A and B are shown apart, each in its own frame.
Chain A
């Protein structure tokens, strides 16, 4: 067994997911099967292999091209806040996080 019930609960906590009792058992079994499958990667020798984090092209050079850091108008706070479940301009409102 690759993953225990405690592992599932720890991961759910990290991921901010509140799982039901059925979900905990279901995901434990399924993640266990998937992790057993991906274990095949352990068979490969990767000692001198660089990790590939992004697709990079030789033509792009070693350094990505950076744009000039210029200020442009971005007056969208009203539109953005209009999508918020709870807002008091210019803020998003959430349950109290700091006790006074």
Chain B
């Protein structure tokens, strides 16, 4: 084992069973990797050493007794800092929660640990998950391990960078408008967004409640399916979590894709798409055709309205969700002579520029006189976008598009123009609005070596189908790790 070797969940399972390494040694190795690389990458904001070693020791005790091991036994996992971890500082990348220690664990965390995972720590992200480059973190940007002058994507930039750099075997991210899939694409790894309601949001600190989802970032598709099988499922603590049985994702994974119908929406390959990204994604689709998939051109007529719809719906929900940060119950308080002054100065000092921008926009579109013209209208257009997907899935089994219009851009390249930054989400927000599941899989690199991501979307609760196509593609394309 070298400092640069890539661990997968399957690899960890085999090594622990063969007693080539103990869970404690593996945990120690990962903390050493983080120690070596984090100053440069800024992927981790906090480490949970005590908790990680305690869990590793529990796994080692199970191995010593010859007990059956749970699916993530000893697997070092990183967690985006918007997901609550009991007694481990959870900042959401914001100054307003700089010293906040949640009193409880998110359901996803509870399930990971019950499945034997070792939580290494919390990863950097755009403040309250608002951003596409990780440059909106109050704790500084994350660098892309593939090219250090580039962004890792966002908002789950720290999670993606940690996995891509081998500082964690897998990570949890959250996806509201592309925040798992786009950083997955930028860093050259798998990023999966489950169906809305498939994974409990209990303990996920809310950005836009009708859009937020928790999902995995992993080295390969098999690992994504393993994490999904652990975190998916109904939870009485989240009224929007779906009471739909979780299938055996692993059982579907290696099924041949022959005969599946791939929808290719023409609107996603038009103006604004980088030439190299277009070529790689089209080559990826051609490869799936060689495996026996049919290719069906699609019209999804409301695609062009998705960014506008998304930035109204998401900011409206955000302005409401973030009203809770007022200096009363938790987080930062800047004292004031009156309650109102305390609220205003606390929020002015605690929130960064992008969060304030979105609170302002969201408050505006919800305010008297504008609600119908903006918010209500956006909710109606959201119905039309969801209908585009429903219609498309009458004709096809999956939809394939680029994940992002360009490869990872340079740090600072888009920070001056918020609207340009929003357009980085152009191919991901549609699936977010419709509530469908999707994954970004690596589909090659540009001439200068930047990873390109291909997005695979399926109907609601079609995670098995997403993973099956992703796995076939990974195997046939030689992207296997």
Q: Given the interface contacts A16-B343, A57-B244, does A52 sit within 8 Å of B308 by beta carbon? A: no
- For A57-82 the 0/1 string (1 means CB < 8 A from B) is 10110001101000000001001100
Contact B363–A34 (Cβ < 8 Å)? no
A14 to chain B, nearest CB (A): 5
A94 to chain B, nearest CB (A): 5
Contact B339–A94 (Cβ < 8 Å)? yes
The residues of B that contact A84 with a CB separation of less than 8 Å are: 328-330
Contact B197–A57 (Cβ < 8 Å)? yes
B239 contacts the other chain (Cβ, under 8 Å)? Answer: yes
Residues of A1-37 contacting chain B, CB below 8 A: 3, 7-8, 10-12, 14-20, 23, 27, 30-31, 33-35, 37
* Of the residues A17, A33, A49, A64, contact of B380 by C-beta under 8 Å: A49
B101 contacts the other chain (Cβ, under 8 Å)? Answer: yes
State how many residues of chain B have any CB contact under 8 Å with chain A.
74
Contact B377–A46 (Cβ < 8 Å)? yes
Residues of A39-65 contacting chain B, CB below 8 A: 39-42, 44, 46, 49-55, 57, 59-60, 64-65
Contact A95–B308 (Cβ < 8 Å)? no
Contact B361–A31 (Cβ < 8 Å)? yes
Contact B419–A33 (Cβ < 8 Å)? yes
Contact A11–B360 (Cβ < 8 Å)? yes
B153-161, B246-254, B382-390, B404-412 - interface stretch: B382-390
- For B94-137 the 0/1 string (1 means CB < 8 A from A) is 00000011011000000000000000000000000000000000
A85 contacts the other chain (Cβ, under 8 Å)? Answer: yes
Query: Which A residue's beta carbon lies closest to that of B99?
Result: A83
Q: Given the interface contacts A11-B363, A14-B367, A34-B418, does A41 sit within 8 Å of B344 by beta carbon? A: no
A89 to chain B, nearest CB (A): 14
* Of the residues A19, A30, A44, contact of B384 by C-beta under 8 Å: A44
The residues of B that contact A65 with a CB separation of less than 8 Å are: 243
Query: Which B residue's beta carbon lies closest to that of A20?
Result: B348
- For B355-381 the 0/1 string (1 means CB < 8 A from A) is 011011101100100000110111111
The residues of B that contact A19 with a CB separation of less than 8 Å are: 348, 356
B467 contacts the other chain (Cβ, under 8 Å)? Answer: no
B345 contacts the other chain (Cβ, under 8 Å)? Answer: yes
The residues of A that contact B239 with a CB separation of less than 8 Å are: 64
B285 contacts the other chain (Cβ, under 8 Å)? Answer: no
* Of the residues A18, A59, A97, contact of B347 by C-beta under 8 Å: A18
State how many residues of chain A have any CB contact under 8 Å with chain B.
52
The residues of B that contact A79 with a CB separation of less than 8 Å are: 103
Contact A54–B377 (Cβ < 8 Å)? no
User: What is the interface of chain B mostly: helix, strand, loop, or mixed?
Assistant: helix
Contact B308–A59 (Cβ < 8 Å)? no
Q: Given the interface contacts A7-B364, A16-B347, does A52 sit within 8 Å of B380 by beta carbon? A: yes
Q: Given the interface contacts A16-B340, A30-B418, does A41 sit within 8 Å of B305 by beta carbon? A: yes
A62 to chain B, nearest CB (A): 15
The residues of B that contact A44 with a CB separation of less than 8 Å are: 302, 305, 381, 384
The residues of B that contact A15 with a CB separation of less than 8 Å are: 319, 323, 347, 359-360, 363
Complex Cα distance A63/B422, Å? Answer: 35
Contact B360–A57 (Cβ < 8 Å)? no
B312 contacts the other chain (Cβ, under 8 Å)? Answer: yes
Contact A34–B236 (Cβ < 8 Å)? no
Complex Cα distance A3/B378, Å? Answer: 19
Complex Cα distance A17/B349, Å? Answer: 9
A38 contacts the other chain (Cβ, under 8 Å)? Answer: yes
Complex Cα distance A79/B329, Å? Answer: 12
Complex Cα distance A81/B312, Å? Answer: 35
Query: Which A residue's beta carbon lies closest to that of B319?
Result: A15
Contact B312–A38 (Cβ < 8 Å)? yes
The residues of A that contact B377 with a CB separation of less than 8 Å are: 41-42, 46
B336 contacts the other chain (Cβ, under 8 Å)? Answer: yes
Contact A51–B379 (Cβ < 8 Å)? yes
* Of the residues B103, B244, B326, B344, contact of A80 by C-beta under 8 Å: B103
Q: Given the interface contacts A15-B363, A57-B460, does A23 sit within 8 Å of B374 by beta carbon? A: no
B104 to chain A, nearest CB (A): 8
Complex Cα distance A17/B105, Å? Answer: 30
Q: Given the interface contacts A16-B343, A55-B210, A94-B339, does A38 sit within 8 Å of B374 by beta carbon? A: yes
B242 contacts the other chain (Cβ, under 8 Å)? Answer: yes
| 10 extra A-B contacts, CB within 8 A, seeds A16-B340, A41-B381, A80-B329 | A17-B347, A27-B357, A34-B361, A38-B312, A40-B304, A51-B379, A53-B379, A55-B386, A60-B242, A83-B329
- Which are the 10 A-B pairs with shortest beta-carbon distances? A55-B435, A51-B379, A85-B333, A18-B344, A38-B308, A46-B380, A79-B103, A55-B196, A52-B383, A18-B348
* A-B residue pairs in contact (CB < 8 Å), sample of 25: A11-B360, A11-B367, A14-B363, A14-B367, A15-B363, A16-B326, A16-B347, A18-B344, A18-B347, A18-B348, A30-B418, A37-B307, A38-B378, A50-B380, A51-B380, A52-B379, A55-B197, A57-B244, A60-B242, A64-B239, A84-B328, A85-B330, A86-B333, A92-B329, A95-B337
Binding site for A on B (CB under 8 A): 100-101, 103-104, 196-197, 210, 236, 239-240, 242-244, 302, 304-305, 307-309, 311-312, 319, 323, 326-333, 335-345, 347-348, 351, 353, 356-357, 359-361, 363-364, 367, 373-374, 376-384, 386, 418-419, 422, 433-435, 460-461
